[in-house]
Chains A and B, each alone.
Chain A
Amino acid sequence: MMDPRPLTPDEVRRRRKRSVAIALVLAALVAIFYALTIAKLGPQVLNRPL
């Protein structure tokens, strides 16, 4: 159920900052898993039968 009370401008600002932070964390996770894959498998990641 939704809170009927409208958000104040300050609450909206904080929610936006939290959303941006979550987006940055997700992007960092993508970068971590990409780097981890390359580090674990090395150049061999591309060397496979098609």
Chain B
Amino acid sequence: MTPPLGTSWDLPQPPEPEPVAMTSLSNSLSPAQGLAPAANGDVADFFALLKPRVMALVIFTALVGMTVSHASVNPVIGAISLLMIAVGAGASGCLNMWWDADVDAVMTRTRTRPIPAGRIQPGEALAFGLVLSVGSVLVLGLAANWLAAGLLAFTIVFYAVIYSMWLKRATAQNIVIGGAAGALPPMIGQAVVTGGVGIEGLVLFLIIFIWTPPHFWALALVKSGEYARAGIPMMPNVAGPDSTRRQIVAYSALLAPLGLAPVFLGFGGQIYAVVALLGGLGMLALSLQVQRIRQGETANRTAMSLFAFSILYLFLLFSALLAEQGLGLFRPLPLIA
């Protein structure tokens, strides 16, 4: 059950004793329900709205996008650009929490977030997210260039509107298509440094994009009950666990060779080649194990192992690129050189 894009959920709202403009705005725009009426958020609550761990990952992948571009940028401009990319990503996370407060309230993993816990009012989060979105895009445009700013704006809109408001509750392909938002930061990083987007940024985008389904579906296999209760059509709930497991294997089989693409394109060296080869084989092996073990607590443990390993895999891939390009450890494979 998904409303068309741009419509409000029109869920019953608690009566408002005071017609304060901001409060009534928040209640008319928020899809959340059953929230505590009084909110008095701490600074830490506002920071939590930005999804700090996602911000850290975005800084990391954008930095790698900058370093593989074979170009240089003024370090002050580079640092400010990275900060703005992180703030933009945080803003999209904030808008996602504003929109998904009703879903977050029924899932154990997310019910303590500031909005469902009643520490921050939906309208406060909406205003916070919008101000940071506009501010980060404008400052990035002024600091770096308007292509990078445009890509950041596209990322924010894609995550907050296309993914959160539309795809997430509409299709089992939600995280597949929505994964594009998480995959864009390396391209933004490259655009900051070069003023354009090259093959390096595109390949890093594809690696994160293809990595996203096996990563999230491994978690969804374990949490399918919670997603079902929240009404989110994740792949295990729609196509079933067996089909999801087959698709995890298919995406991992695609990811393993794709992870080696930087080696053949000349911006991944010997260290990266070893990490990508072993990591890709590890992803494939764990995926096959997830497909083989389907029953009981062992199945859940195997799926969570894949989930954890996928994070390590992506981290090591990008760390290897960063070490090679940033620390001068790049040595091309003899066959490629």
A11 to B74, CA, bound (A): 43
By a CB distance below 8 angstroms, the chain B residues around A18 are: 41-43, 46
Q: Are B80 and A1 in contact (CB under 8 A)?
A: no
Q: Which of A3, A15, A32, A40 has the most CB of B within 10 A?
A: A32
Q: Is B15 an interface residue (CB 8 A)?
A: no
Q: Is B77 an interface residue (CB 8 A)?
A: yes
Choice from B19, B43, B76, B143 contacting A21 with Cβ under 8 Å? B43
Interface residues on B, range: 10 to 19
A39 to B41, CA, bound (A): 37
How many cross-chain pairs have Cβ atoms below 8 Å apart between A and B?
A: 35
Q: Are A1 and B42 in contact (CB under 8 A)?
A: no
By a CB distance below 8 angstroms, the chain B residues around A20 are: 43
By a CB distance below 8 angstroms, the chain A residues around B76 are: 35-36, 38-39
Q: Are A17 and B42 in contact (CB under 8 A)?
A: yes
Interface size on A, residues (CB 8 A): 16
Known: A11-B40, A21-B43, A36-B143. A1 touches B20 (CB 8 A): yes
Q: Are B18 and A36 in contact (CB under 8 A)?
A: no
Known: A1-B20, A3-B18. A36 touches B142 (CB 8 A): yes
Q: Is B333 an interface residue (CB 8 A)?
A: no
Q: Are B77 and A32 in contact (CB under 8 A)?
A: no
Digit string of B65-93 for contact with A (CB within 8 Å is 1, else 0)?
Answer: 00000000010110010010000000000
Q: Which of B18, B42, B83 has the most CB of A within 10 A?
A: B42
Known: A1-B18, A1-B20, A3-B18. A35 touches B42 (CB 8 A): no
